[in-house]
Each structure stands twice: as structure tokens, then as C-alpha cells.
Amino acid sequence: MMSARSLRLAAILSATGSHIAGWRHPDCPADGSFNIARYVEEAQIAEAAKFDLVFLADNYALKQASNEELSRTSNSIAMLEPITALSAMAMVTRNIGLVATMSTTYCEPFHVARMFASLDHISGGRAGWNLVTSANPAEALNFNRDMQADHDARYARGDEFVDVVRKLWDSWDDAALVADKASGRYFRPEALSPVNHKGTHFSVRGPLNALRPPQGHPVIFQAGSSPAGIALAARSADCVFTQQRSIPTARDFYLKVKQAVAAAGRDPDTVRVLPGLVPFVGETGTEAQAKFDALQNLVDPSVGIQILTAVLGGKVDLSGFDVNGPVPEIPPSDGMSTFQANLLAEAREEGLSLRELYLRYAAGFGHWRVIGSVKEVADLIEEAFHAEAADGFAISSPMLPGSLGDFATMVVPELQRRGLFRMEYEGETLRDRLGLPRPLRVDPARG
Ligand SMILES: Cc1cc2nc3c(=O)[nH]c(=O)nc-3n(C[C@H](O)[C@H](O)[C@H](O)COP(=O)(O)O)c2cc1C
């Protein structure tokens, strides 16, 4: 039996997996990040296990490092553009949600509204947009800028951006199309409104050249956990991706989000909080530990230092420090601020060396990690869910292929046996799966 509050599961498909050394494992095809057959296979595994959605992350630049340094990692080097990949995946899946990142800093609202409206039509109401404000400074250099805008400025633009996107989705009434061949009327003229948005960052006349999406609005995800990120999510998001590291920290964040949603005048039960989770699972704890060790042993120390330098803000080059010594003082980051704060807190609390910290980050971008038997992994998920530390998890599989299949065939049946997770898909759209209402249209001409 399903409990009243249902667990949600997202599958983060990061190419060869979220472990930085996943691609070096003998079982990992090295072309995974640009081979659509691999994405399709993983999406079908997730769909067979009744996951709510698959998610493709994205950014628009290689990290700032030498070719020699970059050449030692497969992560964010060459990957398929997510909307293109999800459109292909939509044709060979039927139920699973299809969620991709697009940046409010480097895109225009019209592009985002149009692409996700199209994906929603292509997939029959399964699209979701992960709104990010972008944190990698190198991205600015690919978009006519010398440097990235500061954190608050990025969020201010993001806030207005999402309003414009929603107005564009609402520029058509749901029942606009009549296609009356006898009278020659294709759509009801009164069903179409311009947007006429004039704000601080955007001037957009509209309307959108796509009919209103099947879901009304594709599901909106937000993945920043700073105060500005929470405020944006409270006003505009349906789901929140977040990096957490334990039940107490996740619970604290969960409460903050739900309170902020209520303060913004929305029902907190209509926003889902999904922390990332990196599971290493085996029939026994020993088997899970062996899977973890096999990947950790493949981490190239120079890559470890390089990725840690970048996520901690890039201002302190860590290659000059003793890897077995303590983590030096690092100034606050304007980029991946929450990831930086979490990693530094762990390093200080547990007295981690630089090496121990890069190994933490290497295993799935520092997301909450669980290494254990099926029972141990399911216990953690159940405890976090009942403690209201999470509405579900974004499963960040350390190695693809392999890890998602392990989770799908071992942990999901256990979650189903406990009555925590669905046996069959309910409803038609991603909103239905997530238990989220379909937004009523606000006519932009009147709203
Ligand atoms: C599960 C998850 C997925 C994310 N995916 C992306 C992504 O695809 N692209 C990106 O630029 N940032 C991504 N981020 C990072 C955040 O969007 C955000 O930029 C970062 O956390 C800094 O924002 P903050 O200071 O508000 O926390 C992701 C974060 C999480 C927790």
C-alpha cells in the first residue's frame, strides 16, 4: 500500500556516472557521454523501476584548466545537449519525466519557453526545466562577457526570467486550436494574448509560437540552495534539487524551503524537495564497499586537486599544498556557494586532509553518499523521508552502466515492499506523477 505522502525518485544521468573516475572502470564504455543509446538504456532502466523522472544536468563551458589537465577527466568535457537528447529519449519511453537544465544567465526566456513547451508536446506532458543561474565563471567567456555577473545579480535576472517564461507559456489558452476547415478558422483569436513584458532585464512582446504545454507549465526545478536560491524556489519552483549530507542538515534545509514557500503565499505541499544521493549498494555491506573502493582507487590525484580547486571557487590553487595536510583557508565562493560551504564544513568538522576531501568530492560531486546493503540504503531513504528531510531523492549513480541498475533492481523493490514507492505509474503527466497541480492559465493581457 502507498503511504499518503509518496516518495519521489529522480535519476540523474551524468554520462558515465557521477563518480569522477567512473569512466576508467573496466565495465564503463568510454563514449557514454555522447552515445544516445547509453542514455536511452539508462532511461528505460529508470522507467522500468517507476522512477518519476530522469534529469540531465548542463553547463556551457569546459572548466578553466590546461588541455593537459582537462584531458584526464571525462566529466563535462563532451556531452549531448540535453534537450536534444531528451527529445530522442521521449520517443522510446512512455511514462518517465524528462528534465533538463537551462540557464537563466545565458539563455533568453523565449528560447527556454519554446524548447520546454516543445518537449512537453513531444513527450505528452513529461517535461521539466531545471532552472539554474550558472556558477562556472568560464561560461561567461562564451557569451560575450569578460566575467560572470555576481551571485545576487544572477538571481535577480533569474527571478524575472521565470516570470517571463510562465507568461509565454500562458500566451495561449488551453483550448485555442479549433482547426475548423469548413469556416477556415485555425484558432480562436481571443485565445491568444501578447505578453508585453517590460522589466529590468527583459523586454518581450510575445506571444509564444508554441501552443500551451500539455502540463500548462512544464515542471520547474530549482537547484541553488543559497538564501537567494531558496527565495527564488519559494516563489517559482515546483521541485528543489539540493546538495545535503545528513538527515539533520537536510531536515533543516527542508524546513527552510517549506517555510519560505508558505511565506511566499503558496502551499508548501506543492513543492518537492529532492536532495542528491550517491548510492553504492550491494547484497551485503562488504560488496557495496568493494564497489566504492574500486572507483576511489581510480581517482587520479591531479584530477582530484583540479576539481576541488574549481568547486571551492578557483581563487586558491590547491596544487601547491600538501595533499596529506589540512585544507587551507578558502575565501567564500560566488559560484557553487552551497557546494563549497558544505565541503568546507565537512573538512573542518571531520579534520579531513586535502586528499580525503577531494576523494569525497570525486565520489558524486560531494552529494550525500550511502555505501551499504540493500537494507541499509533503504533504511536511510525511509528514515530521511519520514523525518521530513526529503520528499524523495535525486539518485546520482556513481557509474553508468551499473549503479542505476543496481539501485533499480535491488533498492526499489525493497522501497515498494515497504509501501514507500509506487508499483505502477499514476496519472499521465510528470505533474501527475509528482502529485503537483496543473497551473491555471493567467492571461498575460489581464494578469
Ligand atoms: C542536484 C543538483 C543539480 C544541479 N545541476 C546543475 C546544472 O545542471 N547546471 C548548473 O550550472 N548548476 C547545477 N547545479 C548547481 C546549482 O544550480 C547552483 O548553481 C549552485 O548550487 C550555486 O547556487 P547557490 O549559491 O544558490 O547554491 C545543481 C545543483 C544540484 C544540487
Residue-wise pLDDT for 265-298, tens only, equals 999 999 999 999 999 999 999 999 999 999 999 9
CA–CA dist 357, 1 (Å, integer): 41
Q: Is 158 in the pocket of ligand 1 (CB under 6 A)?
A: no
131-155 exposure pattern, b = at least 16 Cβ within 10 A, e = fewer: bbbbbbbbbbeeeeeeebbebeebb
pLDDT at 2: 40
Averaged pLDDT score across all residues of the chain: 95
Query: Quick check: is 314 in a domain?
Result: no
Query: Quick check: is 140 in a domain?
Result: yes
Contact between residue 54 and residue 397 where contact means Cβ atoms under 8 Å apart: no
Q: Is 55 in the pocket of ligand 1 (CB under 6 A)?
A: no
Of 249-258, 330-339, 422-431, which range is least confident? 330-339
Nearest residue by C-alpha to atom 11 in ligand 1: 134
Query: Quick check: is 354 in a domain?
Result: no
CA–CA dist 226, 237 (Å, integer): 14
Residue 397: what residue type? S
CA–CA dist 4, 314 (Å, integer): 45
pLDDT at 185: 98
Cβ-based neighbours of 13, under 8 Å, separated by 6 or more? 39, 42, 43, 54, 55, 56, 397, 400, 404
pLDDT at 65: 83
Query: Quick check: is 446 in a domain?
Result: no
Query: Quick check: is 237 in a domain?
Result: yes
Ligand 1 atom showing the smallest separation from residue 58 Cα:
8
CA–CA dist 73, 392 (Å, integer): 30
Residue from 241, 278, 340, 367 whose mutation best tests the ligand 1 pocket (most atoms within 8 A of CB): 241
Is residue 304 predicted with pLDDT exceeding 80? yes
Domain count, the chain: 1
Contact between residue 14 and residue 398 where contact means Cβ atoms under 8 Å apart: no
φ/ψ bin of 142: left (φ > 0), alpha (ψ from -120 to 50), beta (otherwise):
alpha
H-helix or E-strand spanning residue 372: strand 368-373
Query: Quick check: is 335 in a domain?
Result: no
Residue 1: pLDDT band by 50, 70, 90 thresholds? very low
Residue 387: pLDDT band by 50, 70, 90 thresholds? very high
pLDDT at 98: 99
Residue from 101, 112, 139, 143 whose mutation best tests the ligand 1 pocket (most atoms within 8 A of CB): 101
Query: Quick check: is 15 in a domain?
Result: yes
Is residue 3 predicted with pLDDT exceeding 80? no
CA–CA dist 248, 267 (Å, integer): 23
User: What is the domain-level CATH number for residue 136?
Assistant: 3.20.20.30
Specify the residue for cell string 509564444.
Answer: 208
Mean pLDDT value across residues 391-417: 97
Q: Is 18 in the pocket of ligand 1 (CB under 6 A)?
A: no
Residue-wise pLDDT for 189-212, tens only, equals 999 999 999 999 999 999 999 999
Q: What values do phi and psi take at 292, rounded to 5?
A: -65, -50
Nearest residue by C-alpha to atom 8 in ligand 1: 57
Residue 75: pLDDT band by 50, 70, 90 thresholds? confident
Query: Quick check: is 443 in a domain?
Result: no
Mean pLDDT value across residues 341-364: 94
Task: Quote the domain boundaries for residue 417.
Answer: 8-283+367-434
SS3 45: helix
Count of CB atoms within 10 A of residue 403's CB? 25
Mean pLDDT value across residues 80-98: 98
Mean pLDDT value across residues 133-137: 93
Distance 319 CA to ligand 1 centre (A): 25
Is residue 4 predicted with pLDDT exceeding 70? no
Distance 43 CA to ligand 1 centre (A): 22
Burial (Cβ within 10 Å: 0-12, 13-18, ≥19) of residue 117 = buried
Residue-wise pLDDT for 95-114, tens only, equals 999 999 999 999 999 999 99
Q: Which stretches of 94-138 are DSSP H helices?
A: 109-123
Residue from 150, 338, 393 whose mutation best tests the ligand 1 pocket (most atoms within 8 A of CB): 338
Is residue 300 predicted with pLDDT exceeding 50? yes
Specify the residue for cell string 560488496.
Answer: 287
Q: Are strands 185-187 and 177-180 parallel, antiparallel or unpaired?
A: antiparallel
pLDDT at 15: 80
Mean pLDDT value across residues 352-357: 96
Residue-wise pLDDT for 242-257, tens only, equals 999 999 999 999 999 9
pLDDT at 201: 98
